[in-house]
Structures are given as C-alpha cells and as structure tokens.
Structure 1
Amino acid sequence: MRDRESQYRVILVDDEPMILRSLKVAIPWEELSMEVVGEARSGEAALALVREMQPHIMISDIRMPGMDGISLMKEVMMEHPQLIFIFISGYGEFEYAREALREGAFDYLLKPIDHDELTETVRKAQVSLQKQAENDKLMNSIQTLSLLARERMFTELIEGSRSPLLDMQWLSHNELDQCWYMAVLQLDQYEKLERKWSRDEKRLWLFAIRNILEEWFEQSGGLTVFPFRSGEWLLLFPEGYKEHQEKLGQELISLIKRNTKLSASIGFSRTMAGMERLGEAYETAVGALYQRFYADSEGVYWAAPSRDSTIEHGSYPKQLEADMLESIRTLDRERMMHLADELKVYLEHHGFQRHAAERILVELSVVLFRQFRHMKTGGDWSLEGHLQDIHVAGTLKDMIVVLKLALERWIQESMTRPAKEDVHSVIHKAQVYIDEHYQKDLAIEEVSEITELSISHFCMLFKQVTGYTFVEYLTHCRIEKAKMILKNSQVKVYQVAPLIGYQDPRYFTQVFKKITGQTPSEYRESASGIDTIKK
C-alpha cells in the first residue's frame, strides 16, 4: 500500500452536506490508496482548496450556486491540467454533463449516486493516474537520456573522437548551427583541492557546483552546461550574449564563491558557428584561462583574436605537441628530451619575441600536464610553480631547460608509480561496484565517480567495453539476481522486487517479462520443472 505521502489526494465538492458525508464514508478510499483531503460546498471554496492541497482527483456536483462545476474545472485546469474531474449531475442536466466531457472531464454519474458505480469510476481514475505517472517517469527518463547523449556527443566532438551519435539525422539542425561561444569554468588550484578532499567530499562538492550552475543556467537562457573534466564545466551561449561576457563571468564566479567558498575562473572562446567547431572553441577558452596563472585572484579571461597577435596563424607547433603527447603516453623520456630540443630550434627559427615564445611554452606545458593528469600518473606536482619558473626564466634556453627538467621529472616519477589503469580495468571496477550495489537506487553519477571519469566519458567507455549502456547493464544485473532468487528460494514474487532495487513490484514484473519473455511466476515454475527433470 502507498504511504501517506504518496496516496492520491481527493477533494469532494457539493453544496449538499448530506451528499458530502455520503461520498466520504461510502467509498473505500484507503483500499484505493486514496485520501479525502478536503471538502467544499461551493466552487469558490473548492478553488482555494485546490491551490492549498494540490489534489489528484476532484469529485464535484455539476450545478452549484455561484461558480458551477464546469467553470471550476476550467479555472483549475489552467494551472493543473492533469487533475481528474468526476462530475455528479441530475437527470435534467445532461447537456451540462456533455459539455463537461467536451471540456476534459474524466466521467460523470447521475443522481442518485450508485456508490458501487462511483467506486468503479474512481478505480478507473486511479489506473489513469498510474499510467500518467508511468508516462511522466518515461518522459523524464527520455529527457535524461537525451541530455546524457547530448553531453556525450559534445564531449566526443571536443576530444576529436567519432561516434554513431554524430551521424544521427536529428542533429542536422540544431542551435549550434548559428553563432555561439563557449565558456570554460575551472576551480582554481583544483589539484590541491582534489588531494585534500576524500572521494565522498569531492563527489559532493562537484555535485553541488553542477546544481548551482544548472539552476543559474535555467534563468540565463544559455544553450547548455555540463561537466567536462574534474573541476571543469563547459557553458555554451548564443552570440547575442557576447557583450555581457564580463557580467556573466563575474556573476558565476561570485555565485560559486558565495555558495561554496571556492574560487573559480572563467575563460571565453572566440565566436564560433557549427557543432564541429566545439573542439576549437574549447582550445581557445582554455587558452584564455592560461592568463590565470599570472593573476593574483580569480578572474574572467578572453581568448585572443588568434593564438597571439605576434604569432602568424597556424604557427603554434601542433605536430610537436602531438608528438610530445605520444611520448607521455608511452613514457618515452629519451624521445621527449629530443622533442624539447626540437621545440627550441623551432622557436628560434621563427624568431618569436619573448612573450610570444613564453605563451607557446605555457600553453604546451598545460596541455602536457593535463595528459599526465588524464593518465592518473601525476604526483604531487605544481603546475602553477612550473609556469612561474618559465615566466621568470631569463632566456629561451632557460625556459627550455625549465620545461625539460619538469618533463623529465614527471616521466621518471610516472614510471615508478603504479601503471595507469587501462580502460578495461576502470570499467571492470564500475561493473564490480554495480554488482555489489545493484539493490540500491543506483545513479550513473555515483558509478562514474568511482571511475573518476566524467559522466559522458564514462557512458562512452562503458558501452565500448561491455556492449551495454549503464541502464542496460544495471537492469541485466538485477534480472539475473532475480532469476537466482526465484530459482533457489521460496521468496514471494512481490518481495523479490525490493531485494534487487525495484520498489514497485508491478514495474519489476514488466521489466522481468520484457527481458526474459516470462513473468517471474512463470519463470519460477519453468525453472522448477527443469530441476525436477534433472533429478
């Protein structure tokens, strides 16, 4: 039976007190998981009750002094379109009843009231409410999955990977076809915070910040917001917001600090058009954030019109960056030192001024450091300290020495630390966690936190490794546990559901039959028959 908070709430409306008393005592409300939460003798009083009690069902006389039942229904349904109206009408009021049905009433009954007939009508209303709740739940699930798919798709575009999602027809026209820009919000000194926080503290802080950003975003009219990497969130805005960037940035920084006491900075990309430019936008927004390392406090930063006003377009050493990243992935110290020497030659050959060469070295250092962090081989290293060492170096040669010393130390320490977990072991950790906690109300956020991956990245890798989506795997796990219980115990079917994570036995039965082709009872009978034959 539903608990008090989850009972369906009913309001009775009639100008005759005897009929109200009759309705209240003659219907088995408790048996129907319903509760009469209010009575009214006029349409006006009923309207005030609706606003106070938020009922699911209203049973009302169709003709009353003042506001009649139909006027009441029209008024209420403007604010509560899903509320179910059941009308009671006299024999001479058929035209009123027909109008009520046209306006959206669920049903009507004639006076004198047949209580058995009314009880059956209320049962039908209950079924309608249950279907409505299931549809709402399904729509919420679809919307959640749609948001997850969107985040995953954007993540893949930023990271340069390819997915069938990118070829779906429904993506041919979207809001990113028009001009837009990206903001990247990062918690300042996140590496230090991460070392200080426990896993639960980290999950709570990041969850809190995501909620803050999403609530703010609902009011802002932006395009989307989602976490990308730990301590980092991406926000997309239409181009029309560009003149308000300073205000938006400062507002977000103040909001984070006011609610969490944490410091954050924001980098804005250049204006882009087209979904395929998400990766470029991310690079320019993160590039803007490099300026944070020379500031005394959090701030709002903007991408330069190009990588640097003194650097010709395309002269950033992308190939050297790619080769260095590969050296990190293979922890090839010798190759990395050779590439650092090549970088010095490259910068000398192009004759970059000091601040331009420094900017390239800073950008490259951040990219390489992030790769170490992504591989989870990073030790107790200070990126800020390294960038300051580059800044105070007197010559290009000194800057390169600073870079080489840092890279050599990072690679050496990474080689002596435990090897990076490969994708399969990371996902296996998630599978083990699901297998041990399937009976809980398990959320994807909780499991992705165990792997230390973003939700979108976790979804992508989980599907690649297991062949299942998270929900499919969790469902498969639960149904397998249910089959084991049904086959090896006499636990009643309705008691199996909460044991495997389903609070609604009927929903459990639906899922079980969809997966196995049998109801739980049918499965138990067939499994019992097989065991008998084997014996």
Structure 2
Amino acid sequence: MGGADGRYRVILVDDEPMILRSLRAAIPWDELNLEVVGEAKSGDGALRLAREVSPHLIVSDIRMPGMDGITLLKELKADQERRLIVFISGYGEFEYAREALREGAFDYLLKPIDHEELTETISRAVKIIDQQTADDQMLHSVKMLSLLARERMLTEFIEGNRSPLQHMQWLEDSELEHGYIMAVVQLDHYLRLNEQWSLDEKRLWLFAVRNVLEEWCVLHGGLTVFPFRSGEWVLLFPNLNDERQVEIGRDLVDLIKRNTKLSCSVGFSANVKGIDQLGGAYELAVHALYQRFYSGEEGVYTGSAITDIPAEISSEAKYPKHLEIKIVESVRTLHKERLLELFDQTKAYIEEHGYNRDMTQRLLVELSVVVYRQFEHMQVLFEWSLEELLQELYTSDTLQQLMDAVKNRFSQWMTESRMAQSKANVRTVMGKAKEYIEDNYQKDLTIEEVSELADLSISHFCTLFKSTTGYTFLEYLTECRIKKAKSILLNSDVKVYQVAPLVGYQDPRYFTQVFKKITGQTPSEFREAVSHT
C-alpha cells in the first residue's frame, strides 16, 4: 500500500545536490500520485533510507561514490524483488546501464535529464506499481466474489488492513455451489462506541473482535470471515438448519462478550447457492437484523423468523423502493424540504394500498432503519437513538400519528445535521483557498498547506476543490502561475529565465515546458507574438 494519504513513496539518489533539487521540483509528483519521502547522496545512504521508508520507486544515479548503482540495485532487489528502480546515467556509462537492465532495473535515462521523458518513464512505473498493488490486494480469488463483497473487501484494503486474507480460505466456485448461509455480525451501538473511542482504541477493539471471529471460524468449519463495514463482519458457513444457526449465533455473541466485553447481534440469511447470491444473502441477513429493533440488543436473528411479513409488503413490488431511494438521497444531500415532501408521498402510497396499522408499522420501521443507516454512514450522532423513534411508532394508533413521528424525528435530525455541517460553508472555504493560492503562487506551495488552511483532509479538500472550481489543485496553481507569467512578459522587460522564479518555478526549463503546454507557445514566442500585434 501507499503512504497515509494513499500515494506511493519515492526516494531520489544522486551525489549532485543540484540534480536532486531539479528532480524534486521538475516532476509533478502529486499529479502522479507519488510522494518524495527522502533523498540520498550515495548508494550506502540510499540503501539505509530504503530500508527505513520502504519506497515503491527509486530514481538514482548509476555511478556514485562508495556503493554504485548496480550494487545498490542488487541489495534493493534482495530486500524487495518487485521494487522499481529508474537509473540516470551519463553517455560514457552505457555498459553500466545495460548491466542494470539485466539485473532488473525498470529503465534508465541518459544525462542531461529530459524532464518530460523522465515524467513519462515514472508514469509507466506508477502503472506497474498500481497493478502490483491491485494484484496484492485482490489476489486471484477476489474476482469470484460478488460485487457487494468485492466492494467491501476493496474498502478494507483501501483502509490498509490486509490481515483478513492471511486466515481466509478463499472460495472456489464449487464450494459455494454446494450451498451456504451468511451470518452478519454487528456491534450494538457501534456509532456511539465509535464516538467514545480514540483512534487507537477503535483499532484495538476492532482488531480484537476480528481475531476472535477468525480463530473461531477456523476451528468451527466456517468457509470465510472478513470485515465489511466498520463494526460489522460477514461469515459464510455450509448450509445450516435454524437450530444450528441459533446455536452458532449465541456462541458468537457469548464469545465476543467474553473476550472483548462488547455486545453484538447476529443475523442469518436463508440457505442460498452460488457466488451470484452473495449480495442477496447479505441483504437477507441484514434484514433479519432489523428484528433487533423489536427485540432489543444482543440477539440472534434468522431469516425464517421474518417470514410472517405480509405478502403485500414483503414483495418488492409492494414496498415503496422508489421512494426509499429518493428519501435516502434527500438525506445524503441534507434537503429537508424534499425529505418532508417524500414522506407525504409515502403517506399517500400507504393510503392508496390500504395498509392496516400493523402493515404500516412494519413498512415505516424498515424505511426508518434504512434512513437511519444513511445518517450513520454520514457519521451523524444524535442525543437519542433509533429505538426511541421505533417505540414512538409502536405506540401510535393512526396513520397521521405514525407519519408525524417519522417526519418530526427525521426533520429534527436533518436540522441537526445541517448545523453539524455548517461549521464551514464549502464555497466560502474554497474561496479562501483560491485567494491563498492566488496570493502565494510564487512560493513552493503544497496541497498539504492549503488543505490545512481549509481545515480539511487532503482527499476531502481535493474533492471539494475540484467540484467547486472545476480544477484540481495543481491545475489551478498552474493556471495562476501562467496567468501571472503572461502579465510579467507583457508588461515588463524581465528576461524569460528570470520570470520562472517569480511565478514559483525554480527550473526555467521546466517553466518553459509548462508555459508551452498551457499556451501553445514558449514564453519568448508569446512575448514576441504580442509585441507584433
């Protein structure tokens, strides 16, 4: 995996400080999803640094004092066979370069360095690293999992946790064709626990639960176990009857409580067959868990226990799925007026189909659980829980009372969500970020610096900045620099090579390349063309 922000790590190696500075400044590392994590001026220093920071890519001179590039390559390959090394060599060092390729170097370039050529080479290396990372993360069997399971496994990998793979018996198609059942384990009150725990405590508790489940699964014939959402795990078993499901579920609940002091609930799907049923099995198991809101926490719930749902609403055609989708979207976008309008449409739908009190309660409970889960995914925590809303639904006697309970509660939650997210108006924050870039373009400005100014994570800042301005951070910074460069070229006699540092480029040659890429002309051509108009 990459660094904390997902970028691949790079170290630069050369005994000439000027070349090191040029490499750091001239290559668009951020754009390539790379981070320069260190520099070394000798082969010995590079080897020590590589063992310390474990880079994905090394860009190195081939002849240096002490340990040369070939020896460094051999040592690095011995430590990590797939690590990529790009060598830079002089014209008189071709034999060294050829030997480096034989020993497994990714590529070599001749001095003087052509930064465009080097950028293209590094871009190719990134594609190789991307593929290696994908291969490591997915392995060969993940491709056979359903889209639902695959998405969650990818989420787990993105979070940097690969340990589920170490004890996982990967599923062959034939194993699932014999039939299986899915259990979903959810920690009770997880959102509240997540609010109370520090980051280290959260990692510790989730790691403890994961270990308990993995060890239990190995000992009791489970097919596999893996984390799904935070505070939730999926287990697959060969077909089980209802009695065995309850027995296993209670065993899991007791085991987790005994080892971690945490309470959980377990929901089971019906017996299913085939890999293509994984997504459906998950929905069945989660649907079984909806009963937790009727019976209380720390329970075991099977799919057979909910077969008494009337056909009118157990059928997908009768449940207002189209309204559910729109309601969830209104919550996601915090559109309160639209939410209330959709609840009115839900009331009209219930009246149209003539649902009695019990059927209406069931429908609204299921809808409330879905909407509440959307609030949970948005990391919104309230003073009260969903159980309070469900209790209010159970004590309501009329359709109007039922709908008022749902509308009032979710309307209030929506208002609180807006307040929680009004800490910073996105356009205002992005406006300040743009002003800061426009005022500081001539400096060595980094995305980390501007993200910190906006009080946002780098990934969140990038998303908001792109959606607000239409530019990536690097594109906007480049636009500001080139715009200012044009102004200087038009309104002063400053020499072209002197313009570069005035607009944030320490390497005039790279400045010229960027200017031409943006305008279609070199700075000199631009100045000359304008002077003749």
TM norm structure 2? 0.48
Structure number with greater Rg is 1
